[in-house]
Structure formats: C-alpha cells, structure tokens
Chains A and B, each alone.
Chain A
Amino acid sequence: MEQQSDIDLSFDGLLAAYGRRLYIYCFHMLRSKPDAEDAVQEVFTKLYMKKNDISKINNLQAWLYKIAYNHCLNVLRRRQILSFIPLQSFQSEKAICTQQDILEEELSHELESGLMKLSPNERTVLLLRVLEDKSYEEISSITGSSCGTVRKQFERARKKISQYINSCEGVKANETAAIL
C-alpha cells in the first residue's frame, strides 16, 4: 500500500493551502476584494522570487503573513495619502434584495466601522487572534513586535471595539428616545 508524506510545497499546493486564508486576512485589513486579491498576488509573486531562499525561512506560514501584513500596511499608508479617494466597500458590488441581505449588509458595515477604529497593527493582531487562532508568539514573529506589545495591542483592540459598540448603543438609545 503506497503512503505519501505530502508536504505540498508546489506552487499550487501553497496557493491552495494559504491563498484563501491570506485573502481573508487581507480582506479584513483592507475591506476591499480587489485590494485583497492584489495582496495575495503580491505575496505569491514574492514567494516565487524567493524560491531559492525558502530553505532559509524557518516558518513559511509566518513569512507569508509577514509579507501580507507589510503589503497591507503599505496599501493603508497609500490610502492615507490619497484619502480623498473614497473607500470602496465590497458590499456596494452586491445587489441587495432580501431582508437577510439587508441584515448582512448592516452587520458588515458595523464590522467594518469597528475595524476602522483600530490602528493597522491592532487590526492585524485582532484578526490573527480571532480568525486564525494564532498565539501571541506567532503574531509577534509576523509583526516584528515583542510578545508583550502584541498582548497589549490585542487588549487595546478589544477595548476600542467594546467602546465603539457601547457608543453605538448610546447613539441608538438617544435616537429611540428622540422618536418617543
């Protein structure tokens, strides 16, 4: 019986294993489908360019996320410079027709607004903790910050999100009171 220990380091294998995961991370960082796709393309182009040095990469997964993280930071910096260009939300591409769609659209908007309250570093830490279940050590190797800093950034991100939710709650309560 044949047994194949399969460390799929082929381009297709790596793209299939990490492509979508990196895309989801980049999507939440940038909240834009085309920008997130471009980010994934950038990561895999760099992977190909580094193919002869892959042996020097101790943790390939962390390396891929690091490239994605740096790329997202650059995109966000560029966006700051070109801040007069409105951010295109992916939801605008979608036709909204059912009550469910409307609820999803609203929820996405709430998530997006919450994420936008965070600095890029805080956003990265929160996304990697929540979506990828990464340890502080792993995140530290991606962002280049110490574990202690990563831990603090995560706590700060949680706090900011909680404050954002509470402030919306307050606005909502005021709106309701005004209607009554």
Chain B
Amino acid sequence: MKQLQSYEDFEKALAIEKVPEIDLDRVKAKVYAVRKRQYRLKLALVLASALVLTLAVGVAAFNGWELKSDKGRSIVSYLQQDANWLKEDKKAEELFEKYSNEFEQLAASLGSNEAGIFIVTESYSKYNRSYMSYGDNKYYEINEIKAIAKDNIKLPSSLPRDLAFKEGTVIYETELSNMELSLLKEELYKKAKAEGLEYITKKIQISKEPNNINLSYRSTSGSAVLSVSKCPISMFSDIKNEKGEVLTLETGEVLIVEKGGENASIEHIFIKELGDQAYMYTIRTNNIRFNSEELSEIIGSLN
C-alpha cells in the first residue's frame, strides 16, 4: 500500500525513518589503524631525517605545536585559532552568560557524588559548547590528595622557589566514558531542540577515580597552580594569541606558554605516560618562570 501522499509526508517519513545503527567503535578502530600506519611512517621519516639534521629548538612565533610525552609520543596538537574562532568564542561566552544563574542553581543542587551537564541549546548548536559542574568542591590537604591519587596519578614532592602547598581540589571521572558522555550531550541537545528548550541540564554520577587534581602553592614572590589531568593519547587543544616555546629536556618536552592580558600568567606544560594512560601536567604561575633545571627537578620528582 502506498504510504506517501504528498511532499510533506516524504519529509516527515525521511526524518523518522529507522536508519540502521552505526558502529562508531568499529569506525574508530579503523581510523586508528590508519593512524597507526601513519605514525609508523612518520617515525621512519623522523629517524631518516635525524641522520642529516641537528634539531635546534628555540623561541619562535607560536603557530601551534605538537607536544610529545616523556615516551616521545605526540599527544597534543596545539592549534592557533584564527580571528573568526575568537569571535565565535566570545559569542558562545555571551550566550552562556545569559544562563549563568541557571548554571549556578544546577551547581548548587549537586550532591558530592554528582556532576551536572549544562547545555545552552543555541550555543551547542552553533559552537558545540557544553558546560559541566562537579559536586565535590572540597579543599583537601596534601596527604588527603596523595591518598586520593594513590599510585595512579604521580605528584611532585614539592615545587622550587619556596612555593608552599596551600590547598588542593579533585575532579572525579564520570561513570561514562568520553564517548558515552559526548553521545549523552548530543541526545540532550536533540531533546532540548525538539522541546523548544533554551537550555537543558542532566545530573550524572561520578566515580571514585580522580580525573583531574589541582594543587595551589604560594610564596612571598608569587603563586602557582599545578593541574594534572588524564588526557587522550591524541587530542587537539586550541590556543589563542599566546607566545610559546618548547624546551627539550632529558625528561621530555616542556611547552612554555605566556598568556598576556589582564590575567597574565605563564604555563609550563608537559605530558607523562603511565601504562596506557597519558597525564598532562600544567603549572600555571604568576611572576615565576621556571628554568630548565627547575623543570627537570619537578619532573624527576614525580612519584
């Protein structure tokens, strides 16, 4: 029996047709296989180049960088974003600002074992932005932090220049994988759009596994915040108009980024691999720029 009677029927039927599910894990595995082949090819090219080239790394205009882990693997691609991106960034922030009270309400309602997803429909649609808030916002002592980190996240014993530990915070992993979390956000966005909602929220459970540890330090001459995060083996990160340089130390590469503007600071970033997991360490300082010896000392003391 013929079911379509008009063009409008056709549109409706097209929108609701049951399409077979895609196996994203299979797609991912195939892309990873291609990436692995490329990595091997790249490695061969690098080794060949090393025979004839002496690599000198110095201060350069920062147009993006690939930061390697202590195992020599490229982990993060820092990408200089253009003016258009910055404009979009600002617009997305403005959209979020309109709903900051609602975001605060969600944050205040979270239990210590919960995280909240906050999606502003327009912002997600145009800029793919979402926001998360975590219920556990306690300040911890260093011994408590070390107990939480266990052997899974390595922390330095201290920082140079008389920087004394002040307090620490922890963000735990959600019970969803990154992929599941992204798919959930996508579902929430679709629901918000279908129901004509300006924003949508969802509470999810967090696990006992820390995903991010922040330690703050202070001295008479400046301050520092050390942030350790689990990071995917390959990720992109956007940068704006910062200047940076990569130091190649015996302990691996360290990217130093100078952030200007009102909140001027210096970030010292390095990546350490432990088993199958990569960890990104960012030490953000005010009025302090660590030298190579100090950075080697910090990295060497991770235990």
Contacts and interface: CB of A to CB of B under 8 A. Distances in A.
B232 interface: yes
Contacts, number: 180
Contacts of B108: 1
Contact of A41 (B3, B30, B81, B128): B30
Interface stretch (B15-23, B144-152, B159-167, B265-273): B15-23
A107 B17 contact: yes
A54 B85 CA distance: 11
Interface string B178-215: 11011101100000000000000000000000000000
Contact of A27 (B19, B38, B128, B182): B19
A130 B234 CA distance: 34
Interface string A84-113: 000000100100000000011011101100
Size category of the binding interface on chain B = 35 or more
Interface in B1-20: 1-7, 9-11, 13-15, 17-20
Given A16-B186, A48-B35, A161-B10, A111 B130 contact: no
Interface of B: 1-7, 9-11, 13-15, 17-20, 22-24, 26-28, 30-31, 34-35, 38, 64, 66, 77, 79-82, 84-85, 92-93, 96, 103-104, 107-108, 127-134, 137, 169, 171, 177-179, 181-183, 185-186, 232, 234-238
Interface of A: 1-13, 15-17, 19-20, 23-24, 27-28, 33, 36-37, 40-41, 44-45, 48-49, 51-52, 54-56, 58, 61, 90, 93, 103-104, 106-108, 110-111, 114, 127, 130-131, 158, 161-162, 165, 168-169, 172
19 contacts: A2-B132, A3-B132, A5-B92, A9-B237, A9-B238, A11-B232, A12-B232, A16-B183, A19-B24, A24-B19, A41-B30, A58-B85, A107-B4, A110-B3, A110-B4, A111-B10, A165-B6, A165-B9, A165-B10
